[in-house]
């Protein structure tokens, strides 16, 4: 389902939707969709994530959308879904990202039932490399889970969905709740203050689920899940010793260590990554080959089958919702007459073109840090111990963007506006 434009395209102008041919819809969310697009000049195929500004404002997701836009500009890594272009028109904000052809790990987990240990180990090595990269740039992802890990056509794993990602402070802990509850670390659930180490816990939950097809800490209600994450003993299936290596089990146990200073991957200044590389489960990994994407993935997605939910394309075909079209922007919009949220999007969701723009860091400017009042539920929370950071961490804080997210996370689901509903990257089995 292509959408062509007859008029000439000015490729010397700022990047805009007219630079792209629109193809199939492959993702849908609360206020946007994902389409496969092709750059008309380079013929390169990408994923286009677009967010309806009106719905974004209505759901109070403006701060997160801008923050995601800024954070994505900061990163470029082999195992991250990278931003290539960003722009907007009168109705939508657009992210143009690397296109992943292999589907997300949730899709493959549900299709296969569970995944072999050597496959999961390979992905864990690639994802560990990506997390270390993020943490060195003071970024916490906060929503690592199978849904947010996408495969390319060869089977390499990539982290996506930076909708609730934040910069962590080198001096303070964060206390807000954001992400998907089933994958949250105890220090998030318990409001004890956290930093980048929470991503390693989430990676451990993800590894457990990929191997055994269920999560180690669960519950029918949010409160039951909270108590399970905070208190329950980590239990493996009865036949675990017959089907899985002791090294693999030990690796997961290391990631799911409630004491942050003893958690695998959490030593400061890069030493945690060395612990991971030195772990017996990772003894067969050639890290040089891995970092260059030269290592052969043990699982290659089937290119002859769809690796996404085909109903997204059906919705577009049946005109269930207004289809995306090329449209010119209004000339010289009057910012003074705009509502504050629309003006903020207009001014801060800036144009990015990886062919001509140099990636920049927005730290700490996109993360104004404000102190949050302590909870009165538990007196001991007034005496919070600083968990390990890459440098030093002193007191709990929450950012402005985080405060709009607090208390909105439900068990097993992301907060409204998080990109579980809008996969950052399209996944499909072939070009349209």
Residue list, annotated binding site for ATP = 49
155 Ramachandran zone, left/alpha/beta (phi>0; psi -120 to 50): left
CA distances from 242 to 115, 121, 245 (A): 16, 17, 8
Mark whether 143 is an active-site residue: yes
Q: Quick one: which of 184, 120, 130 has its CA closest to 155?
A: 120
The one catalytic residue among 98, 143, 161, 199: 143
Pairing state between β 172-174 and 395-399: parallel
Length of the chain equals 432
Q: How far apart are CA 265 and CA 274, in angstroms?
A: 8
Listed in sequence order, the residues at least 6 apart from 421 whose beta carbon sits closer than 8 Å to its beta carbon are 28, 29, 30, 414
**Where is the binding site, in residues?**
49
Output the six-digit token pair for 411: 């068990």
Residues with catalytic roles: 143
């Amino acid at each position: 389902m292509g959408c062509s434009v007859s008029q000439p395209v000015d490729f010397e102008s700022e990047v805009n939707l007219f630079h792209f041919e629109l193809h199939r819809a492959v993702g849908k969310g609360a206020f946007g969709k994902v389409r496969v697009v092709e750059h008309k000049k380079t013929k390169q195929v990408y994923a286009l994530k677009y967010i309806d500004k009106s719905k974004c404002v209505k759901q109070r997701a403006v701060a997160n959308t801008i923050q995601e836009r800024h954070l994505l500009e900061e990163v470029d890594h082999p195992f991250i879904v990278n931003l290539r272009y960003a722009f907007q028109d009168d109705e939508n904000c657009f992210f143009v990202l690397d296109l992943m052809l292999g589907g997300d790990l949730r899709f493959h987990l549900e299709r296969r039932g569970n995944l072999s240990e050597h496959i999961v180990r390979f992905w864990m090595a690639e994802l560990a490399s990506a997390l270390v990269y993020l943490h060195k740039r003071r970024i916490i992802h906060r929503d690592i889970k199978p849904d947010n890990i996408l495969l390319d056509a060869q089977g390499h794993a990539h982290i996506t969905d930076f909708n609730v990602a934040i910069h962590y402070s080198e001096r303070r802990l964060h206390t807000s709740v954001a992400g998907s509850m089933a994958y949250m670390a105890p220090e998030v659930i318990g409001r004890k203050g956290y930093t980048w180490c929470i991503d390693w816990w989430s990676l451990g939950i993800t590894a457990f689920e990929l191997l055994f097809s269920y999560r180690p800490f669960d519950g029918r209600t949010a409160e039951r899940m909270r108590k399970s994450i905070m208190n329950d003993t980590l239990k493996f299936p009865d036949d675990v010793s017959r089907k899985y290596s002791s090294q693999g089990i030990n690796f997961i146990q290391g990631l799911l260590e409630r004491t942050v200073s003893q958690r695998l991957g959490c030593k400061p200044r890069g030493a945690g990554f060395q612990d991971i590389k030195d772990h017996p489960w990772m003894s067969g990994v050639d890290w040089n080959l891995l970092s260059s994407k030269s290592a052969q993935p043990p699982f290659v997605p089937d290119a002859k089958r769809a690796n996404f939910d085909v109903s997204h394309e059906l919705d577009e075909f049946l005109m269930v919702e207004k289809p995306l079209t090329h449209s010119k922007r209004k000339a010289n919009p009057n910012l003074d007459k705009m509502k504050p949220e629309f003006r903020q999007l207009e001014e801060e969701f800036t144009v990015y073109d990886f062919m001509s723009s140099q990636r920049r860091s927005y730290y700490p400017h996109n993360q104004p840090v404000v102190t949050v009042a302590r909870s009165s539920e538990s007196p001991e929370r007034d005496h919070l111990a600083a968990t390990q950071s890459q440098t030093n961490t002193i007191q709990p804080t929450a950012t402005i963007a985080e405060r709009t997210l607090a208390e909105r996370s439900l068990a097993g689901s992301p907060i409204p506006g998080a990109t579980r509903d809008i996969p950052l990257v399209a996944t499909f089995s072939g070009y349209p």
